[in-house]
Structure 1
Amino acid sequence: MLSRRSFVNCALCMLSSGFTAVAVEGQAQPAGQTSGVTRTILSTEELPGGHYVVVQVAAEIAPGATVARHTHPGIESSVILAGEAELLVDGQPNRTLRAGDSFQVPAVTPHSLRNGSGSTRVAGTYTVEKGKPLASPA
């Protein structure tokens, strides 16, 4: 089993080595792409039954950038690898996240991320419905 520390080290390694992305249903960048945010799809695996896929994504958010409000057709589970940002999820209090903090966003729940003064790196895992866009503007 992959520990949190191993996952973070693996994600950092992939970010620094320029690991190339695998498209999800022909989509290399999720819809609602925001200026100052770079997302790279690291892997996509279909779950048994063929209705869902697990997508692992690395994101880098420029200082002061805001990830546009969006939704996913499934659950987002992410960890902040470096930096600090404020997570805004509909129906939840805003949260300040720092390196090592993790968060989960329920399916089809509008959310965004407001970055702090430095660059922020995030590793995300999405368990989403197959054939739907990874993200849609909200």
Structure 2
Amino acid sequence: MSRNNKTNATRLLGVAIVTAALSAFAGVSQAQETKAAADAGQAPAKSWQTGLKRTDLVRRDLGIEGQEVIQVLVDFDPGVASPKHSHPGVEVAHVISGTFEYELEGQPNVTLKAGDSLYIPAGTAHVAKNVGTVKASELATYIVKKDTPLLKIEQ
């Protein structure tokens, strides 16, 4: 075996070991979360990466220089919460179905049901969570700075 093949084999083995370790850590972490939820008599929470579905509906210039309007349908599986995030402009959230709890930084939590709406000021960090037992949907309308990322994940 040439020196290059040995080096490549060593690198591949290292990558395989790191991948296996990360997979094992993720599995243990998920198992602990599932057990904690079961101990509390709750169904395990789904990850927002798999429990949220976003459908872009409209994206248009607003007619005000540097501003655009974006409208998105967001479906949440039961128990799923968005990550804490903010937007570079205002958001108006309208609940189409289900029940949501919204946590807005600096404000008390609010629970909304189908037909209710909520104004979220520009740059306000927030979390939306489906607190019901069925899929919940919201229509999110943003008026934001054009050519700016729509979402900023907060720590």
Shorter-chain TM-score bucket reads 0.7 to 0.9
Instruction: Flag the structure with larger Rg.
Output: 2
Q: What are structure 1's unaligned runs of at least 5 residues? A: 1-32
* Aligned residue identity for 1:122: E
Give the equivalent residue in structure 2 for 1:43: 58
| Structure 1 CA distance for aligned equivalents of residues 121 and 111 of structure 2 | 18
2:141 is the alignment partner of 1:125: yes
Q: Whose relative contact order is higher, 1 or 2, with alpha carbons under 8 Å and at least 6 apart? A: 1
Name whichever structure is richer in strand by fraction: 1
Q: Write out per-residue CA displacement over residues 54-83 of structure 1, whole angstroms, 9 at most, x where no aligned residue.
A: 001101000110111100000000110000
* Aligned residue identity for 2:122: A
Give the equivalent residue in structure 1 for 2:101: 86
Is the contact made by 1:35 and 1:65 (CA closer than 8 Å) also made in structure 2?
Answer: no
Identity, in percent, stands at 36
SS at match of 2:84: strand
Q: What are structure 2's unaligned runs of at least 5 residues? A: 1-47
Q: Aligned-residue CA RMSD in angstroms?
A: 1.1
Residues paired across the two proteins, number: 106
Is the contact made by 1:34 and 1:66 (CA closer than 8 Å) also made in structure 2?
Answer: no
TM-score (norm 1): 0.73
Give the equivalent residue in structure 1 for 2:71: 56
Residue 92 of structure 1 deviates from its aligned partner by: 0.7
